Amino acid sequence: MKLKNWKELPEGAIIKNTPTSPEFKTGEWKTKEPYYHAEKCTHCLLCWLYCPDSVITVKNKKIDVFLLEYCKGCGICAKICPVNAIEMREVEL
């Protein structure tokens, strides 16, 4: 990324159109990633609530897709799941 000079930067370093952080993919940090067993899931939404990286999305009050390009692989979702519907698997680097 080419750095901007001071004339090109917004005044007061104001960031407009937030959130802009999704442009930065944090998924490459991970060594493990969650594997979702949809058939076991009861849609209690605990994993959605506790996922620190907003990887788990909800649609119509049900678990939808996992945005794995942001997943840092912490494994909180697998740990919190009461029915073991999420399993952490090693990522091939």
Partner 1 sequence: MKKNFISLKELSERNIGLAPGHRACAGCPFPSIVRMVLSASDNPVVVANATGCLEVTSTIFPYSAWPVPWIHSAFENVAATIAGIETAFRVFKKRGIIPENKKINFIAFGGDGATYDIGLQALSGAIERGHNFLYILYDNQAYMNTGIQRSSATPFGANTTTSPAGKVIPGKLQDRKDITEIIAAHGTPYVAQASPSHFYDFISKIRKAFEIKGPKFIAVLSPCVPGWGYRENESIEIAKLAVETCFWPLYEIEHGVYKLTYKPAKKLPVRIWLEKQERFKHLINREELITEIQKKVDEKWERLLNLDGKKIF
The answer to the question of residue 19 lying near partner 1 (CB under 8 A) is yes
Name which position in 2, 11, 18, 92 contacts partner 1 (CB under 8 A).
18
Task: Convert residues 65-84 into a mask of x (bound to partner 1 by CB under 8 A) and - (unbound).
Answer: --x--x-xxxxx-xxx----
37 binds partner 1 (CB under 8 A): no
The span from the CA of 39 to the CA of 53, in Å, is 24
Nearest to 66 by CA among 35, 28, 30, 22: 35
In this structure, the number of other CB atoms found within 10 A of the CB of residue 78 comes to 18
Euclidean distance between CA atoms 43 and 30, whole angstroms: 25
Q: Provide the binding-site residues for partner 1, judged by CB under 8 A.
A: 13, 15, 18-26, 29-30, 44-46, 48-55, 58, 61, 67, 70, 72-76, 78-80, 88
